């Protein structure tokens, strides 16, 4: 039996040579009116990009995340090195003692996830990935995956952003939030797209771009919350990029 072929399915499955599909998603569960702008990532606050590369460190807030514990045993970190080439490295957790990278020097971290765990089947504590004093990513407890609507286009590739989604948690009083998609390249950050979500209507907004937004190599892409109506607002965002 034959099935209709879908371009996005083929890009995700690797059937089309030279194309890779990337989904980035994140959450920021506590944004206040006086704290904006904040990036949609689990650490909170506005994301700071590294200005130089180096070896990264990984540490948990719980000693259960160690090679013989009940939590995360091994995590994999993905990102870009100092030449903006894609790299990944596995780290054997050592609880509240940090573990450092041993291969490439890192410039970007855009994803980390648990690949081996004990009886809890996830990380028990919050796992933090740092470059010196700078936090590049965090993995919330029990989620086994970083939450960060942040990505960087590797060298010698272009990124085609096909869709973006935002949502707001419906709790307490009526709430609203303004979100914006940014690009950052050559030391300049630029707003590319902006939208609003609110609890009085639909709590979710999705935009599918018939003509994808194009981003050149070495470009950071991220989502910021630029305004909220009420303190303690929780916002979620995601976007899809096809690399060529």
Residue-wise DSSP of 169-198: ---SS--EEEEEEEEEETTEEEEEEEEEEE
The answer to whether position 122 is within a domain reads yes
pLDDT in tens, 174-193: 899 999 999 999 999 999 99
The answer to whether position 165 is within a domain reads yes
Residue appearing with tokens 């599918």: 208
Return the pLDDT at 244.
94
Residue 230 and residue 159 in one domain = yes
The answer to whether position 145 is within a domain reads no
Last residue of a domain, one of 88, 118, 139: 139
* Full domain range(s) for residue 108: 57-139
Return the pLDDT at 171.
72
Last residue of a domain, one of 88, 111, 139: 139
Return the pLDDT at 1.
47
Return the pLDDT at 169.
85
Residue 69 and residue 128 in one domain = yes
The answer to whether position 38 is within a domain reads yes
Residue 31 and residue 61 in one domain = no
Neighbours of 52 (CB within 10 A): 10
The answer to whether position 144 is within a domain reads no
Neighbours of 242 (CB within 10 A): 19
CATH code of 40's domain: 2.60.120.20
Return the pLDDT at 170.
73
The answer to whether position 2 is within a domain reads no
Residue 159 and residue 233 in one domain = yes
Structure tokens at 212: 């994808």
Q: Say if residue 217 is exposed, middle or buried (CB neighbours under 10 Å; 0-12, 13-18, 19+).
A: middle
Last residue of a domain, one of 86, 108, 139: 139
Question: In Å, what is the CA distance from 65 to each residue of 133, 157, 204?
Answer: 22, 36, 34
Residue 160 and residue 198 in one domain = yes
Which residues of the chain carry a pLDDT beneath 70? 1-17, 172, 201-202
Return the pLDDT at 5.
58
Return the pLDDT at 199.
87
What does pLDDT average to over the chain? 93
Closest by Cα among 24, 7, 43, 19 to 181: 24
Predicted TM-score (pTM) of the model is 0.91
Residue 34 and residue 64 in one domain = no
Residue 41 and residue 157 in one domain = yes
The answer to whether position 1 is within a domain reads no
Domain count, the chain: 2
Cβ–Cβ under 8 Å, residues 237 and 196: no
Residue 34 and residue 89 in one domain = no
pLDDT in tens, 68-95: 999 999 999 999 999 999 999 999 999 9
The number of C-alpha atoms within 13 Å of 186 and in the hemisphere containing its C-beta is: 3
The answer to whether position 133 is within a domain reads yes
Residue 17 and residue 70 in one domain = no
Return the pLDDT at 173.
76
Q: How far apart, in whole angstroms, are the C-alpha atoms of residue 170 and residue 176?
A: 10
């Amino acid at each position: 039996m034959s099935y209709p072929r879908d371009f996005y399915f083929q890009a995700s499955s690797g059937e089309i040579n030279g194309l890779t599909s990337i989904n980035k998603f994140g959450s920021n569960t506590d944004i206040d009116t006086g704290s904006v702008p904040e990036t949609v990532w689990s650490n909170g606050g506005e994301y700071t990009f590294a200005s130089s590369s180096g070896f990264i460190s990984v540490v948990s807030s719980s000693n259960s995340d160690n090679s013989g514990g009940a939590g995360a045993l091994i995590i994999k970190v993905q990102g870009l090195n100092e030449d903006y080439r894609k790299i990944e490295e596995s780290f054997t957790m050592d609880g509240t003692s940090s573990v450092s990278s041993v291969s490439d020097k890192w410039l970007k971290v855009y994803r980390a996830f648990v690949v081996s765990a004990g009886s809890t089947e996830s990380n028990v504590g919050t796992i933090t990935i740092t470059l010196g004093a700078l936090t590049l990513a965090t993995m919330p407890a029990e989620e086994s995956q970083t939450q960060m609507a942040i990505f960087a286009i590797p060298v010698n590739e272009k990124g085609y952003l096909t869709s973006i989604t935002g949502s707001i948690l419906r709790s307490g009083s009526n709430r609203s939030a303004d979100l914006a998609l940014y690009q950052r390249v050559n030391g300049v950050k630029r707003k590319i797209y902006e939208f609003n979500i609110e609890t009085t209507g639909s709590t979710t907004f999705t935009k599918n771009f018939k003509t994808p937004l194009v981003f050149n190599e070495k470009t950071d892409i991220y989502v910021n919350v630029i305004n909220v109506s009420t303190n303690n607002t929780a916002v979620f965002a995601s976007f899809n990029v096809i690399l060529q």
